Structure 1
Amino acid sequence: MALGIGAGVAATAGAPVAHADNEIRVPGPSVGVSVGGVGINSGSATATSNGPGSLAVAVGNKSSATATNGAGNTAIAIGNGS
């Protein structure tokens, strides 16, 4: 029985967590990617976009990229704290 409990905890420890604005936060390396308002972020990186064809990419601890308020906007942040 202890194996079943431990296996259940291990299986859910790294599970994605849903947040507002179609963002999914996944534990792991700090990388964020958002395209057209739909994104996935892991670690402490955050990428946010809205508008058709908009793209945001953030790589590094506490990095942030925002491509909003228009169509086809692009934002890329690479490096810790960028």
Structure 2
Amino acid sequence: MAENPLLHKTFFGFNVRVVGSSPKAAVYAGIKSDVYDRLCLRIIWLTLLISGELAGLGGVCKVLGAIGQLNPAFILVTVTLPSLLLLLAG
């Protein structure tokens, strides 16, 4: 719910939506073609950074909020083993 105003009410959100749609849509929306490559890469990297931070925050909330403390056995069972299985599977 917090991302909705960011994506729909700010210039940064407009750029994220346009660059995510297609390069032709970005040029059509008024992003100049000479700065498009730098702007596109900057938007993509910022979006990846923000999504990674939100995923990390969600992981911290899961680990610290489930039982109220950081327990090594809890981390082994709920975080480490599924991560290793995904690593091997993928």
> So what's the TM-score if we normalise by structure 2?
0.26
Which protein has the larger Cα radius of gyration, Structure 1 or Structure 2? 2
**Which structure: greater strand fraction?**
1
**Which structure: greater helix fraction?**
2
